[in-house]
Amino acid sequence: MSLPTMASPTLSPDSSSQEALSAPTCSPTSDSENLSPDELELLAKLEEQNRLLEADSKSMRSMNGSRRNSGSSLVSSSSASSNLSHLEEDTWILWGRIANEWEEWRRRKEKLLKELIRKGIPHHFRAIVWQLLCSATDMPVKNQYSELLKMSSPCEKLIRRDIARTYPEHEFFKGQDSLGQEVLFNVMKAYSLVDREVGYCQGSAFIVGLLLMQMPEEEAFCVFVRLMQEYRLRELFKPSMAELGLCIYQFEYMLQEQLPDLNTHFRSQSFHTSMYASSWFLTLFLTTFPLPVATRVFDIFMYEGLEIVFRVGLALLQVNQTELMQLDMEGMSQYFQRVIPHQFDSCPDKLVLKAYQVKYNPKKMKRLEKEYAAMKSKEMEEQIEIKRLRTENRLLKQRIETLEKESAALADRLIQGQVTRAQEAEENYVIKRELAVVRQQCSSTAEDLQKAQSTIRQLQEQQENPRLTEDFVAHLETELEQSRLRETETLGALREMQDKVLDMEKRNSSLPDENNVARLQEELKALKVRESEAVASARELKLQLQELSDTWQAHLSRGGRWKESPRKLVLGELQDELMTVRLREAQALADGREWRQRVVELETQDNIHRNLLNRVEAERAALQEKLQYLAAQNKGLQTQLSESRRKQAEAECKSKEEVMAVRLREADSMAAVAEMRQRIAELEIQREEGRIQGQLNHSDSSQYIRELKDQIEELKAEGYISLHLQCAGAPSPLPAHPRCGC
């Protein structure tokens, strides 16, 4: 593919450029064994020049640190500088060719490209190479960037708050409202609008900050979108952080498998993996290592993905296992923060070499991913089951509370009924006593009435016999006084009875009505019969009073014929008063009968209410028995329900175990099939290589090698020509970086 021209590269003043330009001093990895002889020769030449560069950097540091060096050091410095210039030229030629012929390198020279990326991408090529690695050169979202900046995001406050904590010591981001902070805010805001589910996460700002150090904000935005979509970062930064849990689970398995003693020590100190490894996965070591080392790790991440994070993390633990085994939890935490980040500042290539000495099995990682998904699915099912059981428990508690309230209400009604019955029994007892007193008074009044009638008859006889004595008059006066006293007592008792009857009527009016209409009708008929008898007896008494009154009037009319002696007059007055008293006694007797009838009515009502209370008590007892029966039935049903649920749970567990066993067998079979296919592919590749090797052996191998060397010389000549043209002011084949002017 063709790329726009780029300005002549210059060395960056920071140490990251030298680290990026330098290849590792150690031997290449196992992938270099399959390279062509030309490629191996090129790698060997690069390594030789790297060793010269390292010697030159040491001599330069010694010259700057002390002025006591002799003139021979200047000669060595000049020679090393010439070697450095040759290294720069070769590196720029190589990476310029890679950038211009990217698709061909990805298809045909993938192993060599991987080896070069592991050795470090030059500082000034990182922007274009990173975009090419993640295919972010022509993304439609780039045209939407300016429109997204005009919109408002709900995460703006959080982004503003965290910007000052992102690379606070770096010159580009130092200072409030600096250019670095502004473009970082723009990119994070634009992505929070593109992916509203993720929004903003603090760890992502460090990745965007590193991108902004290498390229403009629009290109950094496109690269970040591609990283989130294609490199599993989006799952890492989701609110649930499910992918982070998976990475921690896989890393713990690798730690347990390769460093069991250190894993046991971590567990004994309760030093969990998430306490030190979470930031490794979320920020890709950007908050752990200095920028030159972290950038080397990020170069490899752009090509190989999260595998490098597992490798580097486990390599760090392998290197520091002995020291970590001697520390407690707090000491290990301090060691991770202060010692480990600066162990590879002078030689990042050593860290890369250690990382690729770590055993990493992609198939085993896929199997762990399936196990983690199954474990999470099982945990989700258990959580759903626990939630369901809690809901059922809450409903049962509510049902129990309702039944307890109903039982308490029934108990209150029962107690209230018993109290009411006791009060009514006490009132009935009092009424019966008062009724007995009234009956006694009525009987005494009847006796007095009979005595009065006998006295009237005696008076009638005495009227026929005009002889009266003073003793008889004194006796009449005494009897008159006693009759008045009895009349007064009778009136007082009648008033008390009236008050009590009114009180009883009020109480009876507050009592509940009779539900049984037939029984009420029968009691009403009996009451009416009693009432008619009482009315008849009252009429008879009134007739007797009328007869007595007539007799008294006749007596008065006959008394006018007496002689008008003073004694006779006094006797007549006494007889008149006596007759009046007797008439009042008769009237009182009639009133007593009426009140007696009223008492009978009250007794009848009392019997009715007593019957009503008995029926209510019977209904209450029936309801209580029914409640006890329902409670027993409910208890039995609850027992049956729990038993059925237990059986159902056992059946579900058995079915899940069977399904899990089937899935495991399917996974094993699929893994075996994949291994067989891979083995077949490897055999086919070996056969093809053997066939090609046979063809090369039959041809003129020396002629082929000479042709390859001629091509390499032509490439070097083209590189020297382009370099001379650039120095003379000719247009360069690649564009200048807009921020650093390189």
Q: CA-based angle 276:279:283, to the nearest 5?
A: 155
Between 462 and 387, where is the model more confident? 387
Select the highest-mean-pLDDT range: 136-150, 282-296, 684-698.
Answer: 282-296
For residue 315, count CB atoms less than 10 angstroms from its CB and return exposed for 0-12, middle for 13-18, buried for 19 or more.
buried
For residue 294, CA distances in Å to 10, 211, 654 come to 22, 12, 50
Tokens of 676: 């067989």
Q: Round to whole Å and give the CA distance between 542 and 205.
A: 117
Q: Round to whole Å and give the CA distance between 84 and 50.
A: 9
pLDDT given at position 740: 36
Tens digits of residue pLDDT in 485-519: 877 887 787 777 777 777 777 766 665 554 555 66
pLDDT given at position 527: 65
Q: Are 479 and 455 in contact (CB under 8 A)?
A: yes
pLDDT given at position 702: 59
Q: Round to whole Å and give the CA distance between 359 and 628.
A: 71
Q: Are 209 and 180 in contact (CB under 8 A)?
A: yes
Of 402-406, 468-472, 574-578, least confident by mean pLDDT is 468-472
- Please give the average per-residue pLDDT across 196-202, as a whole number: 86
pLDDT given at position 470: 60
Tens digits of residue pLDDT in 267-311: 999 999 989 999 999 999 998 999 999 999 999 999 989 999 999
Tens digits of residue pLDDT in 639-648: 888 888 888 8
Q: Round to whole Å and give the CA distance between 47 and 57.
A: 15
Select the highest-mean-pLDDT range: 7-16, 98-107, 711-720.
Answer: 98-107
Q: Model confidence at 36, in pLDDT bands (50, 70, 90)? A: low
Say which DSSP state 560 is in: T
Tokens of 654: 């058995």
In DSSP terms, 6 is beta-bridged to 734
pLDDT given at position 47: 59
Q: Round to whole Å and give the CA distance between 584 and 552.
A: 13
pLDDT given at position 461: 72
Percent helix, strand and coil across the chain, each rounded to 5? 80, 0, 20
The total number of residues written for the chain in this structure? 742
In DSSP terms, 734 is beta-bridged to 6
Report whether pLDDT(71) > 50: no
pLDDT-above-70 percentage for the chain? 72
Q: Model confidence at 524, in pLDDT bands (50, 70, 90)? A: low
What is the DSSP secondary-structure string of 574-606?
A: HHHHHHHHHHHHHHHHHHHHHHHHHHHHHHHHH
Between 182 and 719, where is the model more confident? 182
For residue 558, the one-letter residue type is: R
Q: CA-based angle 600:497:597, to the nearest 5?
A: 25
Taking the CB of residue 593, how many other CB atoms lie within 10 A of it? Answer: 18
Residue with token string 């689970």: 249
Q: Is the pTM of this model over 0.85?
A: no
pLDDT given at position 645: 84
Q: Model confidence at 319, in pLDDT bands (50, 70, 90)? A: very high
Taking the CB of residue 465, how many other CB atoms lie within 10 A of it? Answer: 7
Q: Are 204 and 241 in contact (CB under 8 A)?
A: no
- Please give the average per-residue pLDDT across 452-457, as a whole number: 78
Q: What is the CA 358 to chain-centroid distance, rounded?
A: 41
Q: Round to whole Å and give the CA distance between 141 and 193.
A: 12
* HEC assignment per residue over 622-668: HHHHHHHHHHHHHHHHHHHHHHHHHHHHHHHHHHHHHHHHHHHHHHH
Q: Model confidence at 312, in pLDDT bands (50, 70, 90)? A: very high
For residue 619, CA distances in Å to 407, 425, 516, 614, 679 come to 15, 20, 13, 9, 87
Q: Are 316 and 340 in contact (CB under 8 A)?
A: yes
CA-nearest of 292, 301, 285, 247 to 134 is: 301
pLDDT given at position 14: 38
Q: Model confidence at 65, in pLDDT bands (50, 70, 90)? A: very low
Cα Rg of the chain, angstroms? 59
